[in-house]
């Protein structure tokens, strides 16, 4: 089904495949309900106060010693950091085992690897729920006596992590791990055999358990919000509802206009030719290095399901998939993963192994991969730089112009499969899933009705008939590995990417002319400073967006970008 | 320096590179002083009684449930096993991190990997010295009320491991890890720059510390024996003295005879040709699979310093080095590592993750690699099988006969470097190192005198003048990573290999005609059953040798083998 004109999206791209089984998900899943955190001594304020207040926080980290005027607090903070670092280092070991499992491990080692990971998981859980850790967290009182905002953010997130981890019973965690493995295995076969009936009871169990976990770990939130918060801190579903409904209202007519317009016809050199996969890989590595991926702190490998894994910032491992017919998938996929990797490589060394150095949310992580994939790779300036490189590696394309390549990677066509969707129809796939998982978690829809609702909605929103459950309700891995509440992050990330990129264009002189010359350093450095180094300093993506761009998430910016781009591309 | 006629030996072959930094060494280093362990209810007996007694123990493991007539003991044993398994699973994680470090890890990750490993090491040490573990071990009384000899061996080795681990202070262990890293780094530069003066003070510190550790962990043994016991349980240096002095007496005149005789001249097709390294790798993998390496439970990779690592029995990872001029190094190296790997893959699944499933000693491990390298690869029957394969991959060798290949891989030539030494002169390199490390540990020689003694001994025993300390006293990594007491295992392994192989010839009908047809299964299965599956059931290599061959270690067998083989090869 993969065709050239559909820019690539991974099964679960980025850190997520590893995350589901290993660490990032664990880290993210431990975040508790988040609204805007007020600095010590102030009352909670509205967004206006926040704009004034957080905007003055510089993105650069401070290297002055962290101290407190209250006796003993500095030492207690140091003890807390030692414990948090240890937990993170053990989690790093799990991440490497996870990468190895996906790329290197012989099949016969599955069971022993499972046992190694289980042994480590038990120890990590023990350390995370240690009562000495709890005492330190309590005594530090969210770090209010510490002179450093990064230190305070560490205390804040240490508390959240502890609260979440300790609110989930050992039995619950065990059941969760078992069900995730069981459900995933069932899904692999059921999808292959288009057997919804085999999937249904397992998926029902999964939603039942996740409902229970959401209630136990985030009792103050509506049930679905409890699941969502694991991936997207500070984003209540009420807000998401309004964002998505506005988006849908504007997007559906645009998609209609675009699909009725006369599209660009991709030349045969770009779609009817075998692109040598070795040359594709060489080309992708050349471009990834140009963009700024640091190979001395990372690796490139090939895998069936591309992902970025490893341990940021010093050991970030990208995998890509290459197919001979679809060079754009390999290149777009590489650049997407490089976007994730730059975030991980750009994490603060000063706060290494501490919560504040982690990525802020799944949506923010996606914003970094999508900024490079959509704003850069699918933008026109990039092709001034990249066209000669394509010609060099694939001389038969020598007559294809930058304009043609730009159009080729931006072809719109509504389809069945989310991972193959273009930039314009992608959010419609997300909204379908969001509405379904929300209703399922809120118990207003039963798992048994899923296929029917799915197929009706696909017809209504995308005009597509679903021929089988395998290509319908069973196409995605997410729910089957317990990643309920994950889907919105894709579209939130796409929206944030536009806002970050717009701001970058304002702040970096001649950004797009730099990109057209292959000068990616200024954009990378800007993102490093504004987003990567900042990590989890802010308590929510909105707070980060305000600090970097001056305003919170805004679906309007996203629609404006799409309108402008596709009006031009399709001469609307 | 590597030339065709010198069969390959790795810098530190086999599990040892990983072991030094990770697990096998840790496992082995934890064994306490071992003589022959009497079964419960009997007094210690002499070798004669042992022969009668242990010979009846079958090598096959029992799968009947492990129980005890004493109430509570079965449950306590199960608890003990759970704890031991957890420790081993965590150690398995460390082993994979170690393999990754040697083969995959980007250079920039060295520091974060160090921290991950240190965090894990601390937890493993904590678990190993846990007082609940100590209570269980004590209550089980070496398993004397259990109905299974494998269970009793687990209890026995659990006690040894605990005694050793808990007798080393935390500070000592920390200092040891730091000094090993520091000394290794100094050695890398000092050897490159031929700078003994830089090495000397570090090495002095290393011997001082290892002396202290040997005294603390094995207070009942002479100091050097304490170090030796970490690698070769049940082998006092007094016994080694007599074995080595007999060996030297017989070996020196044989080496003289052989080197004065007219040797075989290796044809230019085998030494003046570039052997494509990709084809070498393909050929080696074909032969490794023929021998019985199970690729579904292991991997093949290329690395500068070949080793076998991973986690036995389900994840055993071989690395090999190929050089275009020396095809024999690649093939011999592969087969050597396959020998180690077969031991690891052959470990008992029934007792997985328990001490009894571990390799018995470094010498026994080497006996398995050397049996395949020297008895098989350097034996004449193998070349009936392998010659057509060499011709297939390297058609320019089509006129070279099996006899010529056999002679080519058995060329004797005294030289400077241990890792390049042939089968005949290798033990002389070992004895030199054994005498030196023993004197250093016993404080009868000072580190400052090392180069002088080294050079004099090389002249005397091998007739070789040492041109530089880099190719003399600084050539080996062992002492610099704290592996003092390790060297004897190489020659003990070579001796055991001969005894095991002689017995295999008796017990397996037409073994050598099978080998000449490439039927390696019977030999592999026999070793699986007699050695690999048995693991650490016996308390010493001598006990294992008696069980398998009917007699303990016997330098005479080794000399007989060498005499016969080289008399024929050199027409003495």
pLDDT category of residue B13 using cuts at 50, 70 and 90: very low
Chain B contacts of A113, Cβ < 8 Å? 315
Q: Average pLDDT of A31-57?
A: 27
3-state secondary structure A409-457: CCCCCCCCCHHHCCCCCHHHHHHHHHHHHHHHHCCCCCHHHHHHHHHHH
Q: Which residue has the tokens 């292991």?
A: B298
CB contact under 8 A, B115 and A89: yes
Q: Using N-to-C axis directions, what is the helix angle for B277-291 and B327-345, rounded to 10°?
A: 30
pLDDT category of residue B81 using cuts at 50, 70 and 90: very high
Are A370 and A527 spatial neighbours (Cβ–Cβ below 8 Å)? Answer: no
Q: Which residue has the tokens 């072991």?
A: B19
Strand order in the sheet with A315-320: A298-302, A315-320, A308-311
Q: Average pLDDT of B84-113?
A: 93
- Give yes or no for residue B185 having a pLDDT over 60: yes
Q: How far is CA B197 from the centre of its chain?
A: 31
* d(CA B275, nearest CA chain A) in Å: 24
CA angle A340, A151, A135 (to 5 degrees): 115
Q: Which of B96, B107, B297 sits opposite A100 (nearest CB)?
A: B96
pLDDT in tens, A399-418: 999 999 999 999 999 999 99
Q: Which of A454, A477, A483, A418 is nearest to A187 (CA)?
A: A477
- Give yes or no for residue B133 having a pLDDT over 50: yes
Phi, psi of B42, rounded to the nearest 5 degrees: -115, 155
Of A73-82, A321-330, B494-503, B542-551, which range is least confident? A321-330
CB contact under 8 A, A106 and B296: yes
- The pair of structure tokens assigned to B86 is 């957890």
* d(CA B239, nearest CA chain A) in Å: 40
Per-residue model confidence (pLDDT) at position A19: 30
Rounded Cα–Cα distance for residues B475 and B469 (Å)? 8
Q: Domain-by-domain residue ranges, chain B?
A: 16-29+235-569, 67-221
Contacts A–B by Cβ distance under 8 A: 104
- Other CB atoms within a 10 A radius of the CB of residue B254 amount to 18
Chain B contacts of A295, Cβ < 8 Å? 106
Give me the DSSP letters along A8-43. Answer: ---SSTTTHHHHHHSHHHHHHHT-----PPPPTTS-
Q: Which of A90, A298, A311 sits opposite B119 (nearest CB)?
A: A90
- Give yes or no for residue A46 having a pLDDT over 50: no
Q: Which of B106, B296, B353 sits opposite A107 (nearest CB)?
A: B296
- The pair of structure tokens assigned to A227 is 């699941």
3 state DSSP class of B36: coil
CB contact under 8 A, B111 and A314: yes
CATH class of B16-29+235-569: mainly alpha
* d(CA B290, nearest CA chain A) in Å: 18
Q: Average pLDDT of B402-427?
A: 94
Q: How far is CA B56 from the centre of its chain?
A: 27
DSSP single-letter state for residue A61: P
pLDDT category of residue B102 using cuts at 50, 70 and 90: confident
Rounded Cα–Cα distance for residues B409 and A456 (Å)? 73
Could you tell me which chain A residue has the CA closest to the CA of B117?
A93
Rounded Cα–Cα distance for residues A571 and B20 (Å)? 67
CB contact under 8 A, B116 and A106: no
Are A494 and A366 spatial neighbours (Cβ–Cβ below 8 Å)? Answer: yes
Per-residue model confidence (pLDDT) at position B174: 84
Are B329 and B270 spatial neighbours (Cβ–Cβ below 8 Å)? Answer: no
DSSP single-letter state for residue B374: I
Asked if the C-beta of B285 comes within 8 angstroms of chain A's C-beta atoms, the answer is no
Catalytic residue numbers of B read: 337
Q: Which of B93, B117, B352 sits opposite A97 (nearest CB)?
A: B93
- Other CB atoms within a 10 A radius of the CB of residue B370 amount to 32
Q: How many residues does chain B have?
A: 572
* d(CA A97, nearest CA chain B) in Å: 7
CB contact under 8 A, B86 and A298: no
Could you tell me which chain B residue has the CA closest to the CA of A88?
B116
Chain B contacts of A23, Cβ < 8 Å? none
Per-residue model confidence (pLDDT) at position A28: 30
pLDDT category of residue A23 using cuts at 50, 70 and 90: very low
Q: Which of A113, A118, A314 sits opposite B108 (nearest CB)?
A: A314
Asked if the C-beta of A350 comes within 8 angstroms of chain B's C-beta atoms, the answer is no
- Give yes or no for residue A528 having a pLDDT over 60: yes
Rounded Cα–Cα distance for residues A101 and A110 (Å)? 8
Asked if the C-beta of B238 comes within 8 angstroms of chain A's C-beta atoms, the answer is no
- Give yes or no for residue A33 having a pLDDT over 70: no
Per-residue model confidence (pLDDT) at position A299: 96
pLDDT category of residue A3 using cuts at 50, 70 and 90: very low
Of A289-293, B20-24, B369-373, B417-421, which range is least confident? B20-24
Asked if the C-beta of B49 comes within 8 angstroms of chain A's C-beta atoms, the answer is no
Per-residue model confidence (pLDDT) at position A42: 27
Chain B contacts of A107, Cβ < 8 Å? 296
- Give yes or no for residue B269 having a pLDDT over 90: yes
Rounded Cα–Cα distance for residues A199 and A206 (Å)? 11
Per-residue model confidence (pLDDT) at position A263: 78
DSSP single-letter state for residue A65: P
Q: Most A CBs within 10 Å: which of B84, B87, B106, B349, as the mutation test of the A interface?
A: B106
- Give yes or no for residue B267 having a pLDDT over 50: yes
Are B483 and B16 spatial neighbours (Cβ–Cβ below 8 Å)? Answer: yes
* Half-sphere exposure of residue A391: CA atoms within 13 angstroms, side-chain side: 12
- Give yes or no for residue A258 having a pLDDT over 70: yes
Per-residue model confidence (pLDDT) at position A56: 32
* Half-sphere exposure of residue B490: CA atoms within 13 angstroms, side-chain side: 29
Compute CA distances B328 → A353, B271, B322, B400, whole Å. Answer: 47, 10, 9, 14
Rounded Cα–Cα distance for residues B248 and B475 (Å)? 22
Enumerate residues 183 to 202 of chain A having a beta carbon within 8 A of any beta carbon in chain B.
none
Per-residue model confidence (pLDDT) at position A550: 97
Asked if the C-beta of B311 comes within 8 angstroms of chain A's C-beta atoms, the answer is yes
DSSP single-letter state for residue A68: B
Rounded Cα–Cα distance for residues A138 and A134 (Å)? 6
Q: How far is CA A157 from the centre of its chain?
A: 19
pLDDT in tens, B516-540: 999 999 999 999 999 999 999 999 9
Per-residue model confidence (pLDDT) at position A59: 41
Higher pLDDT, residue B35 or A541? A541
Q: Most A CBs within 10 Å: which of B89, B101, B128, as the mutation test of the A interface?
A: B89
Of A61-75, B43-57, B320-334, B499-513, which range is least confident? B43-57
Per-residue model confidence (pLDDT) at position A403: 97
Rounded Cα–Cα distance for residues B572 and B263 (Å)? 11
H-assigned helices in B261-401: 268-271, 277-291, 327-345, 362-370, 380-393
DSSP single-letter state for residue B262: P
Asked if the C-beta of A299 comes within 8 angstroms of chain B's C-beta atoms, the answer is yes
Per-residue model confidence (pLDDT) at position B55: 31
For chain A, the average pLDDT equals 88
- For domain B67-221, say whether CATH 1.10.4160 is its number: no
pLDDT in tens, A354-366: 999 999 999 999 9
Higher pLDDT, residue B101 or B484? B484
Chain B contacts of A345, Cβ < 8 Å? none
Q: Average pLDDT of B480-504?
A: 97
pLDDT in tens, A426-479: 999 999 999 999 999 999 999 999 999 999 999 999 999 999 999 999 999 999
- Which residues sit opposite A316 in a β-bridge? A298, A310
Asked if the C-beta of A271 comes within 8 angstroms of chain B's C-beta atoms, the answer is no
Rounded Cα–Cα distance for residues B270 and B405 (Å)? 8
Q: Give B497's contacts (C-beta < 8 A, 6+ positions apart).
A: B366, B367, B368, B370, B371, B374, B375
Of A215-224, B87-96, B101-110, B430-439, which range is least confident? B101-110
Per-residue model confidence (pLDDT) at position B63: 59
Say what percent of chain A tops pLDDT 70. 89
Of A346-360, B164-178, B469-483, which range is least confident? B164-178
Chain B contacts of A89, Cβ < 8 Å? 112, 115-116, 118-119
Element (DSSP H or E) covering residue B87: helix B73-103
- Give yes or no for residue A113 having a pLDDT over 60: yes
Rounded Cα–Cα distance for residues B460 and A415 (Å)? 82
Say what percent of chain B tops pLDDT 70. 89
Q: Which of A354, A310, A298 is nearest to A535 (CA)?
A: A354
- Which residues sit opposite A144 in a β-bridge? none
* Half-sphere exposure of residue A150: CA atoms within 13 angstroms, side-chain side: 25
CB contact under 8 A, A93 and B119: yes
Per-residue model confidence (pLDDT) at position B181: 83
A337 is catalytic: yes
For chain B, the average pLDDT equals 88
Q: Which of A311, A134, A115 is nearest to B92 (CA)?
A: A115
Examine residue B74 and say whether the peptide bond preceding it is cis (omega within 30 degrees of 0).
Answer: no
- The pair of structure tokens assigned to A76 is 């207690």
Are A531 and A368 spatial neighbours (Cβ–Cβ below 8 Å)? Answer: yes
Q: Most B CBs within 10 Å: which of A315, A349, A351, A353, as the mutation test of the B interface?
A: A315
Q: Give B405's contacts (C-beta < 8 A, 6+ positions apart).
A: B270, B383, B386, B387, B390
pLDDT category of residue B9 using cuts at 50, 70 and 90: very low
Chain B contacts of A314, Cβ < 8 Å? 106, 108-109, 111-112
Of A168-172, A264-268, B251-255, which range is least confident? A168-172
CB contact under 8 A, B120 and A352: no
- The pair of structure tokens assigned to A133 is 């850790």
Are A150 and A60 spatial neighbours (Cβ–Cβ below 8 Å)? Answer: no
Q: Most A CBs within 10 Å: which of B87, B99, B105, B109, as the mutation test of the A interface?
A: B109
* d(CA A112, nearest CA chain B) in Å: 7
3-state secondary structure B455-470: HHHHHHHHCCCCCCCC
- The pair of structure tokens assigned to A155 is 């205390």
Chain A contacts of B296, Cβ < 8 Å? 106-108
- Which residues sit opposite B319 in a β-bridge? B301
- For domain A16-28+235-569, say whether CATH 3.40.47.10 is its number: no
Q: Which of B93, B108, B123 sits opposite A116 (nearest CB)?
A: B93
Per-residue model confidence (pLDDT) at position B169: 85
pLDDT category of residue A63 using cuts at 50, 70 and 90: low
Q: What number of H helices and E strands is found in chain A? A: 24, 3
> Active-site residue among A149, A165, A337, A512?
A337
Examine residue B353 and say whether the peptide bond preceding it is cis (omega within 30 degrees of 0).
Answer: no
Say what percent of chain B tops pLDDT 90. 78
- Give yes or no for residue A12 having a pLDDT over 50: no
Chain B contacts of A108, Cβ < 8 Å? 294, 296-298, 314-315
Could you tell me which chain A residue has the CA closest to the CA of B90?
A116
Are B250 and B558 spatial neighbours (Cβ–Cβ below 8 Å)? Answer: no
């Amino acid at each position: 089904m993969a065709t050239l004109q559909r820019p690539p999206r991974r099964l679960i791209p980025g850190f997520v495949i590893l995350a589901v089984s290993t660490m990032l998900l664990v880290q993210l899943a431990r975040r508790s309900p988040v609204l805007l955190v007020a600095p010590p001594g102030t009352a909670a304020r509205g967004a206006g106060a926040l704009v004034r207040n957080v905007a003055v926080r510089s993105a650069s980290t401070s290297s002055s010693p962290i101290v407190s005027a209250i006796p003993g607090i500095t030492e207690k903070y140091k003890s807390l950091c030692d414990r948090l670092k240890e937990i993170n280092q053990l989690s790093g070991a799990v991440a490497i085992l996870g990468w190895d499992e996906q790329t290197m491990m012989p099949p016969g080692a599955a069971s022993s690897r499972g046992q190694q990971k289980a042994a480590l998981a038990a120890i990590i859980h023990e350390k995370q729920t240690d009562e000495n850790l709890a005492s330190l967290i309590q005594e530090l009182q969210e770090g209010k006596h510490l002179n450093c905002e990064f230190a305070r953010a560490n205390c804040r997130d240490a508390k959240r992590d502890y609260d979440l981890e300790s609110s989930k019973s050992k039995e619950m965690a065990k059941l969760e791990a078992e069900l995730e493995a069981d459900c995933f295995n069932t899904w692999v076969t059921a999808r292959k055999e288009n057997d919804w009936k085999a999937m249904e009871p397992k998926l029902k169990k999964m939603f039942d358990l996740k409902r229970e976990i959401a209630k136990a770990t985030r009792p103050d939130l509506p049930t679905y919000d409890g699941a969502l918060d694991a991936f997207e801190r500070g984003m209540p579903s009420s807000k998401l509802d309004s964002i998505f409904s506005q988006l849908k209202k504007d997007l559906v007519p645009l998609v209609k206009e675009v699909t009725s317009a006369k599209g660009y016809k991709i030349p045969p050199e770009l779609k009817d030719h075998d692109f040598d996969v070795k040359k594709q890989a060489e080309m992708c590595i050349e471009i990834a290095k140009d963009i700024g991926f640091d190979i001395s702190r990372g690796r490139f490998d090939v895998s069936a399901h591309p992902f970025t894994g490893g341990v940021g910032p010093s050991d970030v491992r990208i995998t890509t998939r290459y197919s001979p017919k679809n060079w754009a998938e390999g290149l777009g996929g590489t650049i997407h993963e490089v976007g994730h990797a730059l975030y991980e490589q750009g994490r603060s060394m000063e706060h290494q192994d501490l919560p504040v150095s982690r990525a802020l949310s799944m949506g923010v992580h996606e914003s970094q991969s999508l900024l490079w994939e959509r704003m850069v790779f699918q933008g026109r300036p990039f092709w001034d730089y990249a066209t000669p490189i394509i010609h060099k590696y694939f001389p038969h394309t020598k007559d294809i112009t930058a304009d043609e390549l730009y159009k080729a990677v931006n072809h719109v066509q509504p389809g069945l499969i989310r991972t193959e969707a273009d930039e314009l129809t992608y959010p419609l796939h997300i909204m379908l899933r969001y509405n379904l998982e929300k209703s399922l978690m809120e118990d207003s829809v039963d798992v048994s009705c899923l296929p029917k609702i799915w197929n009706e909605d696909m017809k209504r929103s995308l005009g597509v008939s679903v021929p089988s459950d395998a290509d319908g309700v069973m196409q995605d891995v997410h729910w089957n590995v317990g990643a309920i509440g994950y889907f919105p992050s894709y579209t939130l990330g796409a929206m944030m990417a536009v806002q970050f990129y717009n701001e970058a264009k304002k702040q970096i002189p001649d950004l797009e002319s730099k990109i057209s010359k292959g000068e990616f350093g200024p954009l990378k450095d800007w993102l490093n400073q504004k987003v990567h180094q900042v990590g989890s300093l802010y308590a929510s993506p909105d707070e980060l967006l305000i600090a970097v761009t001056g305003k919170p998430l805004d679906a309007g910016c996203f629609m404006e970008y799409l309108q402008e781009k596709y009006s031009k591309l399709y001469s609307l």
